[in-house]
Structure 1
């Protein structure tokens, strides 16, 4: 036993102590680069939201182009998120987030040189690849620095950055579009990105991951990307390029399902699967996935069309559109910050997530009642409720999964939740974009008589207006005569409201999923501390088991040596007698 002590002491001294805890100042220093990286990603993602109708109109795009510019980024983000998460379990997380940041901002800057919708969509795909890394890695690195119980206390910082970036992005984008040129929307993030990379290099010091043999699931990655992409392409094209019930639908949906079925088979056999199917044995992970899909549809699939509502239904310009979405962002910021602090102080989380899902559903239902001339105070109230619900649910969904899974699977589990949330958002945008286009066309046909009457009253100018409306491109509302603009605004106001009505039932799924989540206590250890504690416990248990086996072996062995001594004594004495 004594001979083993020096080795044990050496091992203890060479490995970080699982009980080591960072001070508040050290945590803030470590988070500074991470916060700046998140700010860059949010700014670069939201800066175009209020300007996108103008950008698409300037590039000669259609409603399908508008949808694809958004969908392309979310598609790439969705497909790449689990890949980044798996890489985070195998490689240096600090280097990975720096690489993702470079990819994100470089492609964003390149998008600024686009001269047609196709080029813009292509660069948005690369932007989505970087966004996938920033989305998953920021949550994973947080778990390395902070315990689940502490995380809520610092979520206010992330909420503030998210709020400033989400509110400031559209405002900045609107200002740049109105005052200079929309292309500067894509260049503005570069200085922030350089600062973020430098801060990450200087301030972020993560515990070293245990060495392990690296094995990447290339086949699974390709199959996942192909299956999901084909499904999302079908969702975005159905209803516009071909009918929902058509040969194209059968081919694309069947092909996607076959590819995904093969992916599942491959994942069962893969040594290091990109999405370990064993995670679905964890009830918390499975229900969080279900809830995340519906949250993604509700959040991404509806909020992305708010800028269209503000500009096409309420006649706002790009800057005004950004200002008019502040109520939703404010509700999300305040609820995520306050609830995060409460969760850190009390350790109670489930009741607040249930409340958030209820508010999300109520907000959806109320938003489905809006029209082009609805009192904006009421619209603001509806947006606050919707934003508050999202703020309570979205970040905490990742938190409870990280708290429930094995520390060694933190990366893939965190990115798994983000993946299904992005998947829901991408499907939501594509499907709801198709609904918006279909509804706008149908409603426009119903108002065709009124529209033609208004155009006829314009005399010679009427032909130019008619040509603009029949080109298939999104109209520039400020250039339309008032009599025509009112009709277009009423059509788009009703069409956007229908989107919220379609998405509202999915919010009910979120309520059910959260209600059945196991109410586990939040851990007070960081992921590294949990991993170290688990390793120490495993080694201690193994040592105890070996000691028990040795003692049992000794007890069960016959005492042959003693018997031989006694027998030998007797034999030696016999001749003497």
Structure 2
């Protein structure tokens, strides 16, 4: 991609502001996936839903989100990422509003699918947008924040959903509560997110997208309906499977032929990419499956309220929050991810096998420990699997690669909810049948085991059903543990590649190919400068690599050897610089010292320490020319921008204070600080008159201090008026010469107007 197509790199402050909007949108996405988990039994009871529709409320969202994720990712490689993200927010908001007014289960499922279309964009594009702003090395800490938001949304979702259901608001507010947050995210992103838009001729692969969405949808629908609406081994199952496999096979064929595929198949040639995709499957199964079925376990098997059920999942979310945040901070400093992913995979497998031992009377403290281990494992894996993929692909494929990993994670969640839901229903039915048979009752499974309104069943049947749900949940986690073994094997074989500091890869080169160019960006005084954008161009002016200096001012770029390049550095108000570099196969060290205009700032205070607002500051150069003038705010602060290095005279004047002047010096590119203290002053005025009261013009009025020194002298005007506008506080003697000189003592207090009329021959107050 040419350098002309790139916008100037966002500063750390701009990134932080835009990142807050991304986190708000991501919080909305996570909340929508978890807030209904504890509300589902109440929703289905109100809308007369069945057991099969229980999982469809969740699966509909996951299905639409999963199927649309690669499309969102590909569109982000071709169009404005900001516009697409805001469009995803609009679609999600529309689905949420419609979901809250649903009058039947089919309506609710359909509107949840609309929500899913928007969620597919929110979850896929958040990684793409971050990748366009931040280098992989610095992206670690941001990934930790994303994991923290996942934890916050996942823990607060079930709890918030339970509170809403148990409150007079009712379950419909589970859909409406996130709408204000989505609107706020839309506004924040509109004002803060500024990314380059690549203008190019595009041809979207609609056929491939349709085949991909159709194939995935058919297989997920088959997993959801098999064993309920029709048998696993039946003609219907065969048709669903054949249709799904055929559609996916055609999608692969189409993707290998078109110029702009939705899922670039060449990405799967990379070992890291393929293994990360496999590893994401089990993470999705654990994350979504755990959230959905844990709520059902605590409410149906243990008899807790929706609010209490949400509180019981806090250990898992606390573990997810801690591991994702800590891992993100450490990874940003070290650039190493594999040890965290391996540790997370081990914890994931171990915790799921431990949870497979759960039944209807398991000690809840022990179960909380198991859930905390599960959260630690998911938190260390979830974002890092995306991060290692982004570290190995070029910016032009960032959207597709990130969305494919997210796609398979969502696919694992959707398939997990469907398949594990079917497994749970089958196990519950078996347990209920066995228990009823032991009591000499037959044929009661359909009416008892299939009911989600357990509280309405007769007491003996109610106990049987609760025990059946409790004893069946272990099978769900055992199946999840088997799938998690795939994740462990995948991360074990991922090759460790240190995270790069550059935003993009060298065009046409692999992640680790080429020669490293590194150095430190500093200010004229030698202080490290963070957030400086560095661009490497070749002899034709084409962009080769791009990076942003870290907190320590360091940067790293990769370039092909035996070539000459130009290193361009730019940062805020500093002057851009260009340096020629020749790469001969050896690592190149090139430090960059920025030069440019600086600034001057400080606070104006009175002697008593109070800030002085409305003070006028004038800055003049050595020739006496005015360079800048500013007025202090109510807090006394002032700031002069774009000030070249040099020596200046700073003059400050304010009402009720004596003016002052001082010499100040600034350095190119540096922010100088100079505080000012003003002495308080008063104004002395009056009228000189004769004994008969007539004004005396041209009378000389002199102010003497306590030592008898002359402080100031003035003359009265035609009406006898005189004025001393700037008198320091203190004791004085006022001497007036007219017909005959007179003198009188005088006390001046700071900040006051002192009025003293003078009568020639004697003084009067």
Aligned match of 1:121 in 109, 133, 146?
A: 109
Aligned match of 1:510 in 481, 487, 495?
A: 487
Aligned match of 2:78 in 84, 90, 113?
A: 90
Q: By how many angstroms is 1:348 displaced?
A: 1.6
Is 1:408–2:384 an aligned residue pair? no
Q: By how many angstroms is 1:482 displaced?
A: 4.8
* 1:214–1:316 Cα change, 3 Å: same
Distance 1:450 1:344 in 2: 60
Number of aligned residue pairs: give it.
Answer: 520
Counterparts of 1:136-535 in structure 2, within 5 Å, are 136-180=124-168, 181-206=170-195, 208-449=196-437, 470=447, 474-480=451-457, 482-527=459-504, 533=536, 535=542
**1:101–1:197 CA contact under 8 A, matched in 2:** yes
Distance 1:355 1:110 in 2: 42
Secondary structure at 1:537's aligned position in 2? Answer: strand
Distance 1:265 1:299 in 2: 32
Larger CA Rg, structure 1 vs 2: 2
Distance 2:483 2:499 in 1: 28
**1:407–1:530 CA contact under 8 A, matched in 2:** no
Of stretches 360-369 and 189-198 in structure 1, the one that deviates more from structure 2 is 189-198
Of stretches 40-49 and 403-412 in structure 1, the one that deviates more from structure 2 is 40-49
Return the TM-score normalized by structure 2. Answer: 0.65
Is 1:103–2:91 an aligned residue pair? yes
Of stretches 76-85 and 249-258 in structure 1, the one that deviates more from structure 2 is 249-258
Distance 1:395 1:289 in 2: 12
Distance 1:429 1:240 in 2: 15
**1:66 is matched with which residue?**
54
Distance 2:561 2:271 in 1: 28
Q: Which string of whole-angstrom CA distances, capped at 9 and with x for unpartnered residues, describes residues 362-414 of structure 1?
A: 01101110011110001101111111111110110000100011221000000
Aligned match of 1:22 in 11, 15, 18?
A: 11
Return the TM-score normalized by structure 1. Answer: 0.85
Q: Which string of whole-angstrom CA distances, capped at 9 and with x for unpartnered residues, describes residues 148-195 of structure 1?
A: 111222334323322222222222211111112111111111111111
Is 1:79–2:67 an aligned residue pair? yes
Q: By how many angstroms is 1:485 displaced?
A: 2.9
Q: Which string of whole-angstrom CA distances, capped at 9 and with x for unpartnered residues, describes residues 441-489 of structure 1?
A: 1111001146678x9xxxxxxxxxx999717753323444554432211
Structure 1: give runs of 5+ residues left out of the alignment: 1-10, 456-465, 546-577
Of stretches 220-229 and 481-490 in structure 1, the one that deviates more from structure 2 is 481-490
Is 1:38–2:26 an aligned residue pair? yes
Secondary structure at 1:470's aligned position in 2? Answer: helix
**1:302–1:499 CA contact under 8 A, matched in 2:** no
**2:152–2:317 CA contact under 8 A, matched in 1:** no
Q: Structure with the greater relative contact order (CA < 8 A, sep ≥ 6): 1 or 2?
A: 1
**2:295–2:310 CA contact under 8 A, matched in 1:** yes
**1:560 is matched with which residue?**
none
Secondary structure at 1:315's aligned position in 2? Answer: coil
Is 1:537–2:544 an aligned residue pair? yes
Distance 1:13 1:300 in 2: 43
* 1:542–1:154 Cα change, 3 Å: closer
Distance 1:287 1:12 in 2: 33
Q: By how many angstroms is 1:296 displaced?
A: 1.8
**2:394–2:505 CA contact under 8 A, matched in 1:** no
**1:301–1:425 CA contact under 8 A, matched in 2:** yes
Q: By how many angstroms is 1:203 displaced?
A: 1.3
Of stretches 157-166 and 536-545 in structure 1, the one that deviates more from structure 2 is 536-545
Q: By how many angstroms is 1:243 displaced?
A: 1.3
**1:57–1:473 CA contact under 8 A, matched in 2:** no
Answer 1 or 2: which has greater strand percent. Answer: 2
**1:311–1:477 CA contact under 8 A, matched in 2:** no
Secondary structure at 2:543's aligned position in 1? Answer: helix
Distance 2:507 2:472 in 1: 50
